[in-house]
Structure 1
């Protein structure tokens, strides 16, 4: 018994081995896809700026359009997966688009072509996101949903740890001068990056199984509207949108860390530490939400977020920036799995695709305004004011969520 207690790997396996095979399969696909994506993402700004001559405005335009498009499409893909009672097909199609488009980065010669590739890649994300979450929710009972979503998010974040390491190794091996890669050397790395997501397609085909829809639900015709959801779910979405108004791009955190003394060469390592924190906290946070409660975990995470942003307002030493990034990772672990599990708790099974689409839309509509507001406050009043205002908004959202009465649906 003492040996078992001293063996964290065995304890971990005993807790998670009861999850359905589809949960493990979808988590493996998330890991492979994010590994592929994070091989490309850290290199893309330098590739665009140095190799293709793109301006900072063009780089921001590419990512802004791509992410906004993904958020909007998640709503429609979720609705359609409810309407036709098919989850696995849009998940496969979404990841297929990523597998097709990412290798094309190896042949681009202008930033406009990168824009088309990234937009189409993000279309794939928009197609697969909500149906995947609905499929995952259908595989587990309510008392294990937090664990399942936490495990899935941990696998995703682990890919964000592995991807940059693989990118570094590929660039070191393929580039004659890794500190100054050529256009062709960047493109060779992008070509290799398509392999993990292609492997993920085989996992979906052979290991992801979609439960059959009960016959009594076949007559249900979901609508692309909020009218079919109760008031508590609508208020939950509004509170999420308010919180997201405080959640600007993480580029501001990296900039603040550099101002606090973190050397530019250390920023990728700092980013990797953040994702390590996300991995471990996602496993803990998702599981705790099953026992402590979803709302309590989300509120705790938002309070941690507020504390982190207050810390960044007054950070003045390198070690403080490292500590704040670790705590920032804990915010994700406390909230991501719990938020998604709570969506499944609050809506009927046949409307979960639409519900997850609305959930993602609630985040998407305020992402751009959040970054614009934060950047404007920083420019006009200084970094301290921007971080303090964001911290205040997140606390206001936490207070509103505390007063929200959650109406759970018993149907799986």
Structure 2
């Protein structure tokens, strides 16, 4: 497995540790915020501002990374900001401070995303992109398994000690920071470029990007508009009568399936084609959301979350591998940053839309509408988007 280079291993372990820290707090974040006086409305505004910050900054910092021809400094700064935001939320409980700390966390994600994925792309050959991105997603998602499990264990022995848990979550974050300083940029001849990079300059990339990139990203963003937060799936499980522990257990099970399947499916994508695995993932998504319209036992929801884990493994890393295969090497961070930035905005809209449909017409209709939109996206990719021929695009400007 020579394609798993030193840089790929370091980035994967950094992501694992960072996800351990973040996912330790994910299940208890709403509970903690309510305990310090946040209303549901204020929690919603907080998450909206945080996600908007991450979304808008991904494109800008991706463009800045390509412009400067540097990756490691953006990755390092991004993980530092995300790590230090954890204890910040435990130190003071004033709403303005909480908003600041949460925004710092999401800004860190925005700074590092494009540069990190560009580093992964640079470490892969056209024939190994699926497995490199798949391996990284597997390691990243293992953190989403370990994090909630550690949080449950901590709260079992120390119930209600939420602020202490924020401090505990700083430990894996510190380890991630330490590892990030072992990252090194490849030595290249950098041409001096004094052109300033405006905050929205990445939007100009859309016009100059390859046509196939725009077609793929349009499909991905329409799908994202239907793909709301996983919180709605968990809420459905909770409404079906499962306990809090069982609901969190289902979420951990989903992440475990995702983590175990991402690398093998990435390897399969390199052999069969990125598009084939991706559209297979979309088909699984349609089955899951259609299945969620049926009220069943915990066996039924366990089966659906098993399929949902396979869907995530077949699409998350694969989509970034696909984008990096159809764009110029010098624009990788901009291309991925632009996509993930728009994706963040679409995710906010999707969650708002799904919440409104749920409130007005019920959970079954919300899930059914999502499945119907996903069916259209499935046929869009199946019938209009060709399998990427990775050598043609990237070699023209390497």
Q: Same fold (TM over 0.5)?
A: yes
Contact 2:33 2:43 in 1 (8 A): yes
Q: Distance in 1 between matches of 2:207 and 2:284?
A: 33
Q: Distance in 2 between matches of 1:87 and 1:395?
A: 37
Q: Distance in 1 between matches of 2:92 and 2:28?
A: 15
Equivalent residue for 2:166, pick from 176, 180, 190 = 190
Q: Distance in 2 between matches of 1:404 and 1:214?
A: 36
* 1:36 equivalent in structure 2: 21
Q: How does 1:138-287 map to 2 (within 5 A)?
A: 138-173=122-157, 175=158, 178=159, 181=160, 185-206=161-182, 208-213=183-188, 224=202, 225=204, 226-287=206-267
Contact 1:347 1:355 in 2 (8 A): yes
* Deviation (angstroms), 1:385: 1.5
* Deviation (angstroms), 1:214: 5.1
More displaced, 395-404 or 303-312? 395-404
More displaced, 248-257 or 302-311? 248-257
More displaced, 311-320 or 128-137? 311-320
Partner of 2:237, secondary structure, is helix
Equivalent residue for 2:295, pick from 315, 332, 341 = 315
* 2:369 equivalent in structure 1: 389
Q: Distance in 2 between matches of 1:87 and 1:288?
A: 28
* 1:71 equivalent in structure 2: 55
Equivalent residue for 1:109, pick from 93, 98, 106 = 93
Equivalent residue for 2:121, pick from 126, 137, 141 = 137
Contact 1:285 1:335 in 2 (8 A): no
Q: Distance in 1 between matches of 2:317 and 2:192?
A: 29
Equivalent residue for 2:11, pick from 4, 23, 26 = 26
* Deviation (angstroms), 1:270: 1.1
Counting matched residue pairs gives: 386
Contact 1:77 1:127 in 2 (8 A): yes
Partner of 1:134, secondary structure, is helix
* Deviation (angstroms), 1:220: 12
Q: Distance in 2 between matches of 1:290 and 1:209?
A: 27
Unaligned stretches of 5+ residues in structure 1: 1-15
* 2:320 equivalent in structure 1: 340
Q: Distance in 2 between matches of 1:121 and 1:166?
A: 21
CA RMSD of aligned residues (A): 1.9
* Deviation (angstroms), 1:407: 5.6
Q: Distance in 2 between matches of 1:218 and 1:340?
A: 29
* 1:375 equivalent in structure 2: 355
Partner of 1:245, secondary structure, is helix
* Deviation (angstroms), 1:315: 3.0
Q: Distance in 2 between matches of 1:133 and 1:329?
A: 22
* 1:328 equivalent in structure 2: 308
Contact 1:34 1:160 in 2 (8 A): yes
1:56 aligns with 2:40: yes
More displaced, 359-368 or 120-129? 359-368
Q: Distance in 2 between matches of 1:210 and 1:280?
A: 30
* Deviation (angstroms), 1:71: 1.3
Contact 1:260 1:321 in 2 (8 A): no
TM-score, normalised via structure 2 length: 0.92
